Amino acid sequence: MPPADNDRQVTPFPAGLWEQPQPVVPAAVAEVAEPVQRIRVPASMLYRYTPGAAPSRFLRGLRDKRILGEKDPVNGDVYVPPRGMSPVVGLPTTEQVELPDRGTLAAFCIVHIGFGVNAPPTPFVSALVLIDGAAVSVYGTLLDIPIEEVRIGMRVQAVWAPDEELTTSFENIRYWKPLDEPDVAPELLKGHM
């Protein structure tokens, strides 16, 4: 089945990851000391993806720069991104809750290894951001701050893609940047990283 126009190809591997040895010259085969036992064969697949009801609501919200969580019907915890059910009580989440595009840095590490695909230049801060009003954190990158000033509990603000580049994608939030507000006590973030 040919891919539909709206299918998005998964970003290819970075150059060099699957580098092969130089091809053997046939005339020189007799001189090759080691027999070939293994070859590396890059493989890729194109997926047609159906996100499901709750993630679809969430992704359509992102297209409008809105962060839509969904509420646990029993204890009120707001999940973002929503999966359509609460993993704690096992019931569907039916009520949508719009959250601000601000939050608190719940945990982080400093990444020094190049990951090529969609990753900023190293070193960069891989961040867990607890969006205000949410019960669990989301992954992102934190930029626009010297690394030595990054701390658990600092306030952060989403940086959105330019309007003309907005799609139904998590990538609409390009990264997070510091917000000039007092830090949150780290103890308050326990259980929400």
Residue of 99, 135, 142, 156 interacting with other proteins (CB under 8 A): 135
Alpha carbons 111 and 8: distance in angstroms, whole number: 27
- Listed ranges 7-15, 20-28, 63-71, 176-184: which one lies at the site for other proteins (CB under 8 A): 7-15
Q: What is the DSSP string of 75-123?
A: T-PEESS--SB-TTT--B--EEEEE-SEEEEEEEEEE-S---TTPPSSS
The interface mask with other proteins, positions 162-191, x = CB under 8 A, is -----xxxxx--------------x---xx
Applying CB under 8 A, what is the total number of residues that bind other proteins? 51
Tell me whether residue 170 is exposed, middle or buried, using C-beta atoms within 10 angstroms of its C-beta: 0 to 12, 13 to 18, 19 or more.
Answer: middle
Residue 14's alpha-carbon distances to 87, 165, 172, 174, in angstroms, are 36, 23, 22, 20
The interface mask with other proteins, positions 32-71, x = CB under 8 A, is -----xx----x-----x-x---x---x------------
CA 188 vs. chain centroid, Å, equals 24
Map the footprint of other proteins across residues 92-131, applying CB under 8 A.
107-113, 115, 117-119, 123, 126, 128
Do the Cβ atoms of 102 and 156 come closer than 8 Å? yes
What is the contact surface with other proteins in residues (CB under 8 A)?
8, 10-11, 13, 17, 37-38, 43, 49, 51, 55, 59, 72, 75, 77, 79, 81, 83, 87-88, 107-113, 115, 117-119, 123, 126, 128, 135-136, 138-141, 152, 167-171, 186, 190-193
